[in-house]
Amino acid sequence: GRGFRWSQRHTQRLVEARHPDAKRYLQHGRLFRAARRAEQILDGIFGLRWLACGLRADAWWNPVRPLPGVGGDPLLHGVGAAEEAPVTMDLNERNGHTLVVGTTRVGKTREAEILVTQDIRRGETVVVIDPKGDLDLMMRCFAEAKRAGRLDAFHIIHLGFPEISARYNPVGDFGRITEVASRIATQLPSSGNSAAFREFAWRFTNVVARALVGLGRRPDYQVIARYVTNIEPLLIDYYEWWLEKVVPGDWRDSLSTIEQALESKNLPVSHRGRDRYALALIKFANDRGLYDPVADGLRSAFDYDKTYFDKLTASLLPLLEKLTSGATGELLAPRYGDLNDDRPILDWMRVIRENGIVYVGLDALSDPEVASAVGNSMFADLTSIAGRLYKHGDTQGLPQATGHRRAPCVVHADEFAELVGQEFIPLLNKAGGAGVQVTAYTQTTADIEAGIADRAKAGQILGNFNTLLMLRVRNEQTARVLTDHLPRVRVFTKTAESRVTDNNELETSVDFTSQNADRVMETETEMLQPADLMALPKGQCFALLHGGHLYKLRLPLPGRDPHAPMMLEEIRAERLARHAGIEH
């Protein structure tokens, strides 16, 4: 944006401009006030509305045109308007992450558009995560990718518009197998008695995930939900694969003998009514003293009484049902072998290698629980990818290219307080070394504390942002995040004094003496008050840049991009054409 570096001089000017004696210089003139009154009157007279339109026209020939509807206190920028110049940020500072704070409808998302546009033009890997699924932001990303000639690398994941969305498996890509269970279980309640049920859900999901990976299958929400409700098919598949590997010869004849010898009355209560073939597999392995940690985990889950098991998974199953129902389920549990579905499947490592652009709309207004689960899993996925990039770079398993340079991966998280969780902390404090740069947008710092449900961890998150942009806020605690980091300054105030003294001496001709003086007093005060941040006009902010230097900025408020598509169908047609290799 455009602005100036704020110093003691500007605090001094602000104090003087707010003095009661200066009030008359800040009021609108009589002609301006008369024009506004006339505008209101003429609006109610049918034949004279054209005059009202002329009075409010924003044109050079209208000397009484109304001021822009940005509200706030114009003094905050007026004290340095003569020094205004373009303000830029060193790209190396982006590795320290950026936080943009502002209440609703003051330009926060428009600032996101400006930053995203620049990142796309620089050829960087750009990931925009938007819980609301703002169509204007999505259209802007599409238009900028098209303008930059990068539409082939542009991907959309939007839970609200599955027809234009790519598919994405939030638990299909991981560095450690335990990540699958963690991404699912962290969405479950953990307070009070719920903690024990959450731990059981984690353990059981981990058993299922390990068995699937052992069989060479990729886990997803749908297959996990299937085996959570019925573990027997997975147990049979895994035991057959395991026994085929560790038992020499034809062991199936022995298995048939065991199955025929099983009698229901001799079985434990929890095994009655269970699949006899599964029981025979378990007995065969136990009789021979065979052990496998995954098989043992499957057996222990199989041993639970069905009624008791259903109680333990009561919180897990509703979450999995939400994630696998309807069109959302098709997006989040893609069928890799379905040749009739031409929607691409997102792979983060491929996105990073091709310097891709990804817009993620989570449609949180329709279903906040699903949006939170997918968003948190995505942050965990990105953190895992950052770990691999940190250790191996983006060319692991590929021929080394001479002069290859990986572009930074810039993550823009709008309304990130709705998605913040344990996964977000390592993304901030460790992923910078892997080239991941996070720009987060939120309304108040209290939202972060509410989202993470831990005051200390909320402070930990805030402490990882080196650059801060603060637009208008409505909360003093949020404003103090910026003002408490500023030095105190000394300002000068002038007081006029007049004094008269009578002279009682008869011998002199002096009847009285008078004295006039101006006293200058120096006081220490805060460079900015929280009230100043609560009175900012729309589209303006204070920013801590370059290691704590305070700037006052006016941000661009872009209108609709003429290159942005008018309808979602245009995006779908363009994406299908490019995916099929058709040139228009």
Which DSSP helix (H) or strand (E) runs through 210?
A: helix 194-214
Residue 579: pLDDT band (50, 70, 90) is low
Distance set, CA 191 to CA 199, 251, 317, 380, 533 (Å): 12, 48, 18, 21, 36
Give the residue among 236, 243, 325 at the shortest CA–CA distance from 274.
236
Summarised one tens digit per residue, pLDDT across range 125-152 is 999 999 988 888 998 999 999 999 999 9
Q: What angle do CA 204, 206, 207 make, to 5 degrees?
A: 65
Residue 265: pLDDT band (50, 70, 90) is low
pLDDT, mean of residues 93-100:
93
| pLDDT of 266 higher than 80 | no
Residue 513: pLDDT band (50, 70, 90) is confident
User: Would you state the pLDDT for residue 527?
Assistant: 96
User: Would you state the pLDDT for residue 584?
Assistant: 38
| pLDDT of 396 higher than 80 | no
Summarised one tens digit per residue, pLDDT across range 329-356 is 889 999 888 888 888 899 999 999 899 9
> Which tokens is 490 given?
């000394």
What type of residue sits at position 447?
D
User: Would you state the pLDDT for residue 229?
Assistant: 86
Q: Which of 164-178, 278-292, 477-491 has the highest mean pLDDT?
A: 477-491
| pLDDT of 180 higher than 60 | yes
Give the residue among 301, 308, 265, 262 at the shortest CA–CA distance from 283.
262
* Residue 544 backbone phi and psi in degrees, to 5: -100, 105
Q: What is the pTM of this model?
A: 0.87
User: Would you state the pLDDT for residue 338?
Assistant: 82
* Residue 575 backbone phi and psi in degrees, to 5: -70, -40
Give the mean pLDDT of the chain: 88
Which has more confidence, 503 or 107? 107
Q: How many CB atoms lie within 10 A of CB 89?
A: 15
> Which tokens is 473 given?
């806020």
Summarised one tens digit per residue, pLDDT across range 302-325 is 888 777 777 777 888 888 988 888
> Which tokens is 103 given?
């209440």
Summarised one tens digit per residue, pLDDT across range 45-91 is 888 899 999 999 999 999 999 988 899 999 999 999 999 999 999 99
DSSP secondary structure string, 553-575? EE-------TTS-SSHHHHHHHH
pLDDT, mean of residues 550-554:
97
Summarised one tens digit per residue, pLDDT across range 441-450 is 999 999 998 8
> Contact, 349 vs 395, CB < 8 A?
no
User: Would you state the pLDDT for residue 583?
Assistant: 39
| pLDDT of 561 higher than 80 | no
Task: Name the residue with tokens 């045109």.
Answer: 65
Q: In the 8-state DSSP scheme, what is residue 345?
A: B
User: Would you state the pLDDT for residue 194?
Assistant: 78
What percentage of the chain exceeds 70 in pLDDT? 94
What percentage of the chain exceeds 90 in pLDDT? 47
Q: How far apart are the first and last CA of the chain?
A: 37
* Residue 502 backbone phi and psi in degrees, to 5: -70, 150
Q: What's the rounded Cα separation, in Å, for the pair 189 and 398?
A: 42
The count of C-alpha atoms lying within 13 angstroms of the C-alpha of 66, restricted to the half-sphere facing its C-beta, is 16
Q: What's the rounded Cα separation, in Å, for the pair 496 and 542?
A: 34
Q: Which residues pair with 500 in a beta bridge?
A: 514
User: Would you state the pLDDT for residue 557?
Assistant: 83
User: Would you state the pLDDT for residue 576?
Assistant: 61
User: Would you state the pLDDT for residue 582?
Assistant: 41
CB within 8 Å of 223: residues ≥ 6 apart: 212, 217, 333
> Contact, 5 vs 549, CB < 8 A?
yes
> Contact, 129 vs 440, CB < 8 A?
no
| pLDDT of 169 higher than 90 | yes
* Domain 97-168+334-471+558-569, CATH: 3.40.50.300
Q: What's the rounded Cα separation, in Å, for the pair 459 and 449?
A: 8
Which has more confidence, 321 or 253? 321
Sequence spans of domains, the chain: 97-168+334-471+558-569, 178-324
* 63-78 as b/e: b if 16+ CB within 10 A: ebbeeeebebbbebbe
Q: For 291-366, list the strands marked E by DSSP.
A: 357-361
